[in-house]
Chains A and B, each alone.
Chain A
Amino acid sequence: MEAKPSNSPKSFIDQSVAPGDVVLDLSSMANQTIKLGGGLRQDCDSISVMKSGKLRFVKPNKYWVESSQKRYVPCVGDNVLGIVVDSKADNFLVDIKGPALAFLPVLAFEGGTRRNIPKFEMGTLLYVRVVKANTGMNPELSCTDATGKAAEYGPLKDSYMFESSTGLARLLLSSPTCPVLEALGKKLSFEIAIGLNGRVWVHADSPSSVILVSNAIMNSESLSEVQQKIMVDKLLQRVQ
């Protein structure tokens, strides 16, 4: 691909970029501080792309490359859905779809002491927060927020969980609300927990609603807004 050392970074924002593209020329932006997120790298005066995806920019000065994968790379601060695989003396071993199993300390719960350690059987679904994520080490999780309160973290009971890509999870979490969720929410009532690692938990009163919601979401990643709404309408019509 042609490397355009463009002076107007706006030409690349929200565009698909490939590794090797030069997207910013720092010599033209002398007194600014720029924050680079994932997928970008600085080579002297130019910022080049390392990962293929879409270049994103948020004011005032954050740039990063966003792509959608099935695998998850743990990042500090992410809210993910994990599955308990094993329990040791000090930690629970939790699978978060990353390269390594994550540790959830046994005391990382609100009001957690040695006396009231929760018992999770194998296969329990948890909504957790990533506390430490260094390459090569097992990530560390927590079931409390930064202040120590429980705040929605913890085991998710019943209902259904499915796996999708990280891009879809980000789409579902975006604001304004994703069109699929909006269209579904108008007709059905359901509860949903989205993990940035691509896992989504859906809960509704009737199993058919759960199935409908989960299938609608799974199909909606590559569709545009209008297409998503049409798809949801068709699905709802078939059921009713």
Chain B
Amino acid sequence: MEHRLANTWWMTVNEKKFIETTLLSDLRIDGRRPFDYRRLTIKFGRDDGSSEVQLGQTHVMAFVTSQLVQPYRDRPNEGTVSIYTEFSPMADPSFEAGRPGESSVELGRIIDRGLRESRAVDMESLCVIAGKLVWAIRIDLHILDNAGNLVDAANIAALTALSTFRRPECTLGGEDGQEVIIHPPEVREPHPLIIHHLPIAVTFGFFGDENIMVIDPTHKEESVMRGRMIVTLNTNGDVCAIQKAGGVGVMQSVIMQCLRIASVKAADMTSKIKNAVESYNTERALRKIKRHSSSAALDVNKPDVKLENQNQSVDQKEIGDLSGHHVERLKLISEERGVSHSNSMEGLRQSPEQDKTTRDVNSKGADFDVVETSLALHGALIPNTKLEESRREKPSEADPGQLLADLEPAPSPDGAVETGEQTNGKKTLVDAVKPKHKRRKKKSSNIDAS
């Protein structure tokens, strides 16, 4: 018991009194005014749909992934959005690994309510086959550092991740029009989600008896405050959700005042989020343009190439993962067909591009035998690409001077994930990595075999 006492964070009587008295004169301990937010930083990861938000010292990451699932019976043509929170013990000494605590559940519920009740994300566009297959969007929130006001930061992270997430395009095909083919990002551009509006959460902390309130309380202010209210609203003036769980009672006029202040703050926050998402999208578009440049340009832009390769390959892996789990099991045959279908498509598409890039995508498990015979490389560090079937047809493509891809045995039975390595033959990276030579030999042996 004593050991646990030693690791918790204690608040002194001095600090409590000080925070309360300075608030009477509209001062906060970090020098902010009562209705100022801390500095907001929004960063994006390389994948679509991953974001990292810092609000002062509070640090939250969000990841959005999608899966094809069966819809709920009472909503056969709507997709679903679900939120999972993880309060890492490194964020706060009171967070414990494992079972989610009360605050973790509350945070998840607030964000979920803000998105679901206000219908911020269009669910009907997530339907693929009514009654059978819909997209289930999953938002994972990881709390990395708790310096107060987790709800606002996590909400912003979730919104930015949703705004930059792209789900793969899928078409109905096959013989009876009931099979779903999921297209990898190189074949068809993945779609962003349709988001009607951004519900922004604004947290108010109430202190003392005289209706003193602040926005965006820090960790210390949170331990001193006597009540808390979280208002979720958007720039159109709609109030999406209000959460006030216990705490000191507030007058109705105070609540109305809070709503007014929150709408101003929400407008500000929305514009920041939109700017960040726009800059991410333009950067992403720029990266795509480089994809079709000549090989000479690729030599020069090697780091950029690696970046986009990784981007592509990670997308690929994502799609492989998500499609592998569900669609494979549901419609394995169709995938094989779809694979051969897309392969032949790619084979045709390949030819004009052979000179430029050999990074072609093979969506499903047609390369099982190649996969099984090749070695694993450095795993996560290496950008993942897929060896094209057509590359086997054209062994000359495997020469240095072109981009090479090496294979890794697919860990999962769906075989959807094939990983490889890309290097530019002229650079020293080829020399630096020994197993490459083995792989080349094996590949050539496969090429010979096939």
Q: Which residues of A contact B (CB under 8 A)?
A: 83, 85-86, 93, 95, 98-101, 121, 123-125, 138, 156-161, 201, 207-208, 210-212, 214-215
Whether the pair A124, B5 counts as a contact (CB closer than 8 A) is no
Whether the pair B10, A214 counts as a contact (CB closer than 8 A) is no
Instruction: Give, as a whole number of angstroms, the nearest-CB distance from B27 to chain A.
Output: 6
Whether the pair A207, B10 counts as a contact (CB closer than 8 A) is no
Whether the pair B18, A210 counts as a contact (CB closer than 8 A) is yes
Interface majority SS on B: helix, strand, loop or mixed?
A: helix
Which chain B positions have C-beta within 8 A of A212? 31
Instruction: Give, as a whole number of angstroms, the nearest-CB distance from A159 to chain B.
Output: 6
Whether the pair B27, A208 counts as a contact (CB closer than 8 A) is yes
Q: Ordered nearest first, which 4 A-B pairs have the shortest CB separation?
A: A207-B22, A123-B13, A160-B18, A83-B10
Whether the pair B6, A101 counts as a contact (CB closer than 8 A) is yes
CA distance A87 to B263 in the complex (A): 48
Whether the pair A156, B18 counts as a contact (CB closer than 8 A) is no
Question: B16 an interface residue at 8 Å Cβ cutoff?
Answer: yes
Which chain A positions have C-beta within 8 A of B28? 211
Whether the pair B12, A83 counts as a contact (CB closer than 8 A) is yes
Among the interface residues B13, B27, B29, which one has the most CB atoms of the partner chain A within 10 A? B13
Question: B238 an interface residue at 8 Å Cβ cutoff?
Answer: no
CA distance A100 to B21 in the complex (A): 33
Bitwise, B16-56 to A at CB < 8 A (1) or not (0) is 11100110010111110000000000000000000000000
Q: Which residues of B contact A (CB under 8 A)?
A: 2-3, 5-6, 10-18, 21-22, 25, 27-31
Partner of A214, one of B3, B11, B25, B29: B29
Which chain A positions have C-beta within 8 A of B21? 207
Whether the pair B18, A85 counts as a contact (CB closer than 8 A) is no
Whether the pair B11, A100 counts as a contact (CB closer than 8 A) is no
CA distance A210 to B30 in the complex (A): 11
Which chain A positions have C-beta within 8 A of B11? 123
Task: Provide a sorted-by-A list of 13 A–B residue pairs whose CB atoms are within 8 angstroms.
Answer: A83-B12, A85-B5, A86-B5, A93-B5, A101-B5, A123-B13, A125-B13, A125-B14, A161-B15, A210-B18, A211-B31, A212-B31, A215-B30
Which chain A positions have C-beta within 8 A of B30? 211, 215
Whether the pair B14, A158 counts as a contact (CB closer than 8 A) is yes
Q: Beyond the given A100-B6, A156-B14, A215-B31, could you list 13 further A-B residue pairs with CB under 8 A, ordered by the A residue number?
A: A85-B5, A95-B10, A99-B6, A101-B6, A121-B13, A123-B10, A123-B11, A123-B16, A157-B14, A158-B14, A161-B12, A207-B21, A211-B22
Give B8's nearest chain A residue, CB to CB: A95
Which chain A positions have C-beta within 8 A of B12? 83, 123-125, 161
Whether the pair A85, B10 counts as a contact (CB closer than 8 A) is yes
Give B28's nearest chain A residue, CB to CB: A211
Which chain A positions have C-beta within 8 A of B22? 207, 210-211
Whether the pair A158, B5 counts as a contact (CB closer than 8 A) is no
Whether the pair A100, B29 counts as a contact (CB closer than 8 A) is no
Which chain A positions have C-beta within 8 A of B31? 211-212, 215
Instruction: Give, as a whole number of angstroms, the nearest-CB distance from B405 to chain A.
Output: 38
CA distance A19 to B28 in the complex (A): 42
CA distance A156 to B17 in the complex (A): 13
Whether the pair B6, A98 counts as a contact (CB closer than 8 A) is yes
Which chain B positions have C-beta within 8 A of A214? 29
Instruction: Give, as a whole number of angstroms, the nearest-CB distance from A116 to chain B.
Output: 21
Which chain A positions have C-beta within 8 A of B5? 85-86, 93, 95, 101
Instruction: Give, as a whole number of angstroms, the nearest-CB distance from A46 to chain B.
Output: 36
Give A239's nearest chain B residue, CB to CB: B31
Whether the pair A100, B14 counts as a contact (CB closer than 8 A) is no
Which chain B positions have C-beta within 8 A of A208? 25, 27
Whether the pair A159, B13 counts as a contact (CB closer than 8 A) is no
Whether the pair B18, A159 counts as a contact (CB closer than 8 A) is yes
Which chain B positions have C-beta within 8 A of A93? 2, 5
Instruction: Give, as a whole number of angstroms, the nearest-CB distance from B132 to chain A.
Output: 54
CA distance A138 to B6 in the complex (A): 10
Which chain A positions have C-beta within 8 A of B29? 160, 211, 214
CA distance A161 to B18 in the complex (A): 9
Whether the pair B10, A160 counts as a contact (CB closer than 8 A) is no
Partner of B13, one of A85, A124, A211: A124
Whether the pair A207, B27 counts as a contact (CB closer than 8 A) is yes
CA distance A184 to B66 in the complex (A): 55
Instruction: Give, as a whole number of angstroms, the nearest-CB distance from A234 to chain B.
Output: 12
Partner of A158, one of B2, B18, B27: B18
CA distance A93 to B4 in the complex (A): 13
